[in-house]
Structure 1
Amino acid sequence: MESVASAVQRLAELAATPHISRLSTAFAAAGHELALVGGPVRDAFIGRPLSDLDFTTDATPDEILAIVAPIADAHWDIGRAFGTIGARFSGDTVEITTYRTDAYDGETRKPVVEFGDSLEADLVRRDFTVNSMALRLPEQVLVDPSGGLDDLIARKLTTPGAPEDSFGDDPLRMLRAARFTSQLGFEIAAPTRAAMSALADRISIVSVERIADELSKLLKTDDPVPGIRILVESGLAELVLPEIPALKLEIDEHAHHKDVYEHSLTVLTQAIDLEKSRHPGEAPDLILRLAALMHDVGKPATRRIEAGGVVTFHHHDVVGAKQAARRLRALRFDKETITSVARLIELHLRFFGYSEGAWTDSAVRRYVRDAGPLLPRLHILTRADVTTRNVRKADQLAFAYDNLEERIAAIAEAEGIAAVRPDLDGDRIQAVLGIRPGREVGEAYRFLLDLRLDEGPLGEELATERLLEWWSGRSANPA
């Protein structure tokens, strides 16, 4: 938490930047109010970067455009129906919104937009008190009608009014509360948490796209686990991502097994730590984080108690991949994300056979081939999946994976297995066999690919010879 004096200084420096100073002066000259609002004001007090600059004003959208157009590098009115005008100044994008007093119809979360005439009234309609502060410009006066600064100091998340009213109006705010626990490290006030549990089923009126967006933002935080716990404990996860609370399998005294829910949260945390160490400075990897969180979602459906009380989850990798794909499709994630997450889950157990016995070079090539461009993520997911408290076992698995990565690097350097292809391409296969494009070319290609994986590079001459032998045998013994 920054000191108040330090936060005020940061805001003063921001207000003094040439384009914001020019903007606030232009609004004042036109006889209109302007205030920096929400996230940037909050973040000044907790030491976060000041980005996503949002302003609010008593000017109408038409009046905003008239003020902004002559001084901005670019402007747009795509949010005009909601009172928002966007503009760009010296590479910085800002949004300026007319004071609002939203009303909700109770059937959807889409507000009926009504423009307001007061900054204070605009602020108290916002989601949480810590986001309901503003800095009046150009005079630089802090406006805090709901006690947001006190809640910032207490690191507490609560709504400006009754949480039942806030969440009843806009249920998406419940997911935002979970996200802010992870993003800001705040605790949700007890009445606010109680309202989340009581109104969890209201989330059904929110579009799946908005839900997916909030889940993605949560997973992209530095530590998503507190937010995920809030979703599970409140009952929201049961409605938006039910595969996660389902991981809380009953553990009976005769069939002890690892707590799959806690294990999955640990894997997510370890995957994020590895992601940061292996790819420092890069944007959060949503695909990896989804795969880490969901890698064991197939366990509830495959759980069996065998003779002697041993618990098994046979084929939970394959079952889980299908379940994850189904959930992500329902949430309308993009095709690449769905396919990649499902594939990582399907492959996440493959390595554990390596630790039980030496793989041939052929097996290593197939591991690389099957992972394809997901290999760096698979490395991280597989390592993160080791959560045993048995130090000796953990060290053995780590050493085994070190060895596998070293072998992959060595074979890749010698053979270029990062993009494994047969020694002959489709055109050459057709020329050698004298056939036209069709199913037989695909069969021949797969034969040569298996040959390449089993034996390494053969060269065009030997590959041609082996292809002709295969074709002769195939022709003599047609299926």
Structure 2
Amino acid sequence: LKLAALMHDLGKPATHHIDQITRRVSFVGHDSVGVPIVDAICDRWAMSNALRSQLKHLVNTHLELGWLLHRPLDSRALWRFLRKVEPVAPEAIALSVADRLGTAGVDDRRSWVRRHVEVAHATWAAAWHGRAHGVAEPLLNGTEIAAACEVELGPQIGVLVRALAEAQATGEVTNRKEAESCVQQYDVSAEH
């Protein structure tokens, strides 16, 4: 986490931009631009592949929690966030809060700073709940999904498996009958 905190904004110099009209400074894409820089540092420091992978993932996803501030924080949004930042969800949450408070200050009372901390609390609780209780066994496997939807095995089954996992994790689906209904009604074409 300490290394990620040091490295998370390494892409900012390459993405620094000043809007000519508003004079606002932005660093759009600094998260993804920072990943190869982190990779090069990991090479120089002969870091393990596991640590390299975690650092790159934290740098690449350190803004994700902030995107949750602009939408309703429902179980589906939490599930998608946690799925995106795993296996380093607690570290990603801590890094995001440290980044926000490092910019705004720990005594900042603006609503968006408070909202960031509130969302961090909710995601932290969800992450630990998920780790304590684990992921539920899928109600249907790929073959069963194909049979329920009367389709052949193929890439669309993977989409349906992920959709069903999300529906199970959010409590929308709790038994086989609901699972079959869920996958039969799911619009696979919306994923492409």
Tell me if both proteins adopt one fold, taking TM over 0.5 as the criterion: yes
Q: Give the residue type in structure 2 aligned to 1:305.
A: I
In the alignment, is residue 447 of structure 1 matched against residue 163 of structure 2?
yes
| Structure whose residues are more often helix by fraction | 2
In the alignment, is residue 293 of structure 1 matched against residue 6 of structure 2?
yes
User: C-alpha offsets along residues 365-421 of structure 1, whole Å, 9 cap, x if unaligned?
Assistant: 21122122311111221222121347224896366424542465369759x886477
- Equivalents in 1 of 2:134, 2:81: separation in Å? 11
Selected match of 2:141 from 425, 439, 446: 425
**Count, aligned residues:** 185
Selected match of 1:365 from 68, 79, 84: 79
In the alignment, is residue 311 of structure 1 matched against residue 25 of structure 2?
yes
Q: What corresponds to 1:126 in structure 2?
A: none
Selected match of 1:467 from 168, 175, 183: 183
Q: What corresponds to 1:384 in structure 2?
A: 98
User: C-alpha offsets along residues 312-362 of structure 1, whole Å, 9 cap, x if unaligned?
Assistant: 101111221233134324544222212111111111112223445542322
In structure 2, do the counterparts of structure 1 residues 474 and 373 end up closer, same or farther at CA, with 3 Å as the change threshold? closer
Alpha-carbon deviation of 1:431? Answer: 4.8
Q: Is the 8 A contact 2:90 2:124 kept in 1?
A: no
Selected match of 2:113 from 392, 397, 406: 397
Selected match of 2:173 from 458, 461, 477: 458
- Equivalents in 1 of 2:136, 2:65: separation in Å? 19
In structure 2, do the counterparts of structure 1 residues 403 and 474 end up closer, same or farther at CA, with 3 Å as the change threshold? closer
SS at structure 2 position matched to 1:364: helix
In structure 2, do the counterparts of structure 1 residues 402 and 384 end up closer, same or farther at CA, with 3 Å as the change threshold? same
User: C-alpha offsets along residues 229-278 of structure 1, whole Å, 9 cap, x if unaligned?
Assistant: xxxxxxxxxxxxxxxxxxxxxxxxxxxxxxxxxxxxxxxxxxxxxxxxxx
In structure 2, do the counterparts of structure 1 residues 304 and 421 end up closer, same or farther at CA, with 3 Å as the change threshold? farther
Alpha-carbon deviation of 1:305? Answer: 0.9
Q: Is the 8 A contact 1:320 1:345 kept in 2?
A: yes
- Equivalents in 1 of 2:17, 2:37: separation in Å? 18
In structure 2, do the counterparts of structure 1 residues 397 and 327 end up closer, same or farther at CA, with 3 Å as the change threshold? same
Q: Is the 8 A contact 1:302 1:315 kept in 2?
A: yes
Q: What corresponds to 1:337 in structure 2?
A: 51
Structure 2 gap ranges (5+): none
Q: Give the residue type in structure 1 aligned to 2:26.
A: T
- Equivalents in 2 of 1:420, 1:368: separation in Å? 15
User: How high is the sequence identity, in percent, across the aligned residues?
Assistant: 24
- Equivalents in 2 of 1:320, 1:420: separation in Å? 35
Alpha-carbon deviation of 1:458? Answer: 0.2
User: C-alpha offsets along residues 135-169 of structure 1, whole Å, 9 cap, x if unaligned?
Assistant: xxxxxxxxxxxxxxxxxxxxxxxxxxxxxxxxxxx
Alpha-carbon deviation of 1:433? Answer: 4.6
Q: Give the residue type in structure 2 aligned to 1:296.
A: D
In structure 2, do the counterparts of structure 1 residues 329 and 451 end up closer, same or farther at CA, with 3 Å as the change threshold? farther
Alpha-carbon deviation of 1:293? Answer: 0.8
Q: Give the residue type in structure 2 aligned to 1:304.
A: H
Q: Is the 8 A contact 1:368 1:417 kept in 2?
A: no
Q: Give the residue type in structure 2 aligned to 1:290.
A: L
In structure 2, do the counterparts of structure 1 residues 425 and 331 end up closer, same or farther at CA, with 3 Å as the change threshold? farther
In structure 2, do the counterparts of structure 1 residues 358 and 431 end up closer, same or farther at CA, with 3 Å as the change threshold? closer
In structure 2, do the counterparts of structure 1 residues 424 and 417 end up closer, same or farther at CA, with 3 Å as the change threshold? farther
Structure with more relative contact order (C-alpha pairs < 8 Å, separation 6 or more): 2
SS at structure 2 position matched to 1:467: helix
User: C-alpha offsets along residues 161-217 of structure 1, whole Å, 9 cap, x if unaligned?
Assistant: xxxxxxxxxxxxxxxxxxxxxxxxxxxxxxxxxxxxxxxxxxxxxxxxxxxxxxxxx
